[in-house]
Structure 1
Amino acid sequence: MTSSLRDIAGSFVAARQEARALPDFPGQIPADLATSYRIQDTAIELWPDQVVGWKIGKVPPHLVGPLGAERVSGPVFAHNLWIAKAGEEIAFPIFENGFAAVEAEYVFRIGVDAAADKIEWTRDEVAGLIGAMHIGVETAGSPLATINDLGSTVVASDFGNNYGLILGPEVADWRAKLEAGLSCETFIDGQSVGKGVANVDPLDALIFLASHLAKRGKPLKAGQYITTGAVTGVHDIRIGQHSRVSFNGSGDILCTAVKAVANGRSV
């Protein structure tokens, strides 16, 4: 790890801990995802919390060829994992003058450890790792407001643009329902901002992650939660706004964005 890459990781970690926006990317933008994940790995080491899961996001179509990847990943930490209860609204922190969004997710809870040296996976094989599927909302967030505009190498370098996971109830008989297609809809301040359907995508996303993490020496572990992709899209949210995500009969998740504070979740 060169000092410049470590400096980038340290800058993102410090900004997150201090709940402080970054005006620009803190260094030279990584040219490839391998460099981005080196930054991310260093930031994980610096971050004073336990990894309890991973988020998966899509690489924009115009970058898939140049980067040689369709997806990116980042860690979910214990401090920003919330358990949603029916009818209760979760307050989640966002960085003032940074980036913030809500994303409707189908979330896998890993039931057994993945083999540390297994790189190639099929849908049936990754399905065997799954203990349950939940509904959820990823609270995407970064101190860098332009993180998505600057591309996937920047996204990967800052924890995959993740700032938390709101976990809802389990989806019963999840595999049959997923094969039939599970739909959901996201609302912000009462207005619908996106609809979507998930079928094979969550399993394909897990295939990517199982291989990706094994190559990084961080194989999937029992108990981890995996957000599998933004089903209705990535929806920007501001401090004080409310969101509701409705999951096709599997429940609703209610949340509101509040201002993050230094070394804490929110005010």
Structure 2
Amino acid sequence: MPATADHENVARAFLAARAKKTPLTLYPGAMPQTMADAYAIQDRAIALDGRRVGGWKVGRIAPDLVDRYGGNRLTGPIFVDEIHDGSAQPAMPVYADGFAAAEAEILLCFGEVGTRDYDIDSVRDCIVDVRTGIEIASSPFPEINRHGPAVTASDYGNNKGLVLGPSIVGWQDADLIRMPVEMAIDGETVGAATMEAMLDGPFGSALFLIEILRARDIAIPPGTLVSAGAITGIHEVRPGQRAEALFDGKIRVGCSITSY
């Protein structure tokens, strides 16, 4: 969908708020009512931003909203300069007066995707690595998640960065769906779950991403990451806190939360 003047104005307002680190007390324009409108805003913002996209976050659309929005997932860009090595215990900045959260996620890395058609089984053929990680969700609009998935998607899908944890050795044969995952904030466990409740799991997120990016005429170069969705929930954080995810009882990924 080509961007309209309204889409352009919303995109520019979010870019300005992110650049100036100032909160948006109101949504900067007419709230998008469809995913097509949301992605028109997002695509225009990506073009105006100019940074290179290194990956994409995928989030779930609530079951009661699937029919209205025509799908069960949404996506947003993760820029290369906001992807950090978890072994360095990175400090991840968020919008202190906006919305901020940390999410334990499985990260998939694409190899050559090409033009072939995929299904939930064959999509594994174009995945070259599976890693652990934490997605940092943050937006200058504090109510980003309170007005439906189109609003969430319109501001980069509410993404503000990615912490790369270790790869999962032998992921091809691992039972990823049943892998236990825990999330802690300041050492206190705030969520524990497996991926059994995540629709069709992380590979379903990869399949969704291929289909939605092709529909938007966006290339998927080798090395593109997929942050496949929150496993233990969306855990709100604030500057000064520390987030740590534990995968399979042995793989730890952590970061500190800071403000600008």
Q: TM-score range by the shorter chain?
A: over 0.9
Q: Post-superposition shift, 1:217? A: 0.5
1:167 to 2:164 alignment = yes
1:106 to 2:106 alignment = yes
Please name the residue that 1:178 is paired with.
Answer: 175
Once the two structures are superposed, residues 11-67 of structure 1 have per-residue CA deviations (whole angstroms, 9 ceiling, x without a partner) of 001111111111111000111000100000000001131000100000112211111
Provide the secondary structure at the position in 2 that maps to 1:243. Answer: strand
Please name the residue that 1:219 is paired with.
Answer: 219
1:248 to 2:245 alignment = no
Provide the secondary structure at the position in 2 that maps to 1:177. Answer: coil
Report % sequence identity.
Answer: 35
Once the two structures are superposed, residues 154-188 of structure 1 have per-residue CA deviations (whole angstroms, 9 ceiling, x without a partner) of 01100011000000111011132135622210001
1:140 to 2:137 alignment = yes
* Inter-partner Cα distance in structure 1 for 2:53 and 2:177: 32
Of the structure 1 ranges 188-197 and 171-180, higher mean CA displacement relative to structure 2 is found in 171-180
Per the normalisation by structure 1, the TM-score is 0.92
* Inter-partner Cα distance in structure 2 for 1:92 and 1:122: 35
Please name the residue that 1:93 is paired with.
Answer: 93
Residues 205, 157 of structure 1: alpha-carbon distance in 2 compared, 3 angstrom cutoff: same
Q: 2:57 pairs with 31, 55, 76, which one?
A: 55
Once the two structures are superposed, residues 197-227 of structure 1 have per-residue CA deviations (whole angstroms, 9 ceiling, x without a partner) of 1255101111111111111111322111110
> Does the 8 Å CA contact 1:148/1:155 hold for their aligned counterparts?
yes
Q: Post-superposition shift, 1:256? A: 1.2
Once the two structures are superposed, residues 70-116 of structure 1 have per-residue CA deviations (whole angstroms, 9 ceiling, x without a partner) of 0000000011110111xx5221000021000000010001111332x
> Does the 8 Å CA contact 1:97/1:145 hold for their aligned counterparts?
yes
Equivalent residue letter for 1:42: R
| Structure 2 spans left out of the alignment, 5+ residues | none
1:70 to 2:69 alignment = no
1:191 to 2:188 alignment = yes
1:202 to 2:202 alignment = yes
> Does the 8 Å CA contact 1:106/1:134 hold for their aligned counterparts?
yes
| Structure 1 spans left out of the alignment, 5+ residues | 261-267
Once the two structures are superposed, residues 220-255 of structure 1 have per-residue CA deviations (whole angstroms, 9 ceiling, x without a partner) of 221111100101110000111111111114511121
> How many aligned residue pairs are there?
255
Please name the residue that 1:26 is paired with.
Answer: 28
> Does the 8 Å CA contact 2:177/2:194 hold for their aligned counterparts?
no
> Does the 8 Å CA contact 1:92/1:139 hold for their aligned counterparts?
yes
What is the correspondence of 1:231-246 to structure 2 with a 5 Å cutoff?
231-246=231-246
Q: Post-superposition shift, 1:121? A: 2.3
Q: 1:83 pairs with 78, 82, 85, which one?
A: 85
Provide the secondary structure at the position in 1 that maps to 2:175. Answer: helix
Please name the residue that 2:44 is paired with.
Answer: 42
* Inter-partner Cα distance in structure 1 for 2:233 and 2:226: 17
* Inter-partner Cα distance in structure 1 for 2:33 and 2:121: 34
* Inter-partner Cα distance in structure 2 for 1:178 and 1:250: 15
Equivalent residue letter for 2:178: G
> Does the 8 Å CA contact 1:109/1:225 hold for their aligned counterparts?
yes
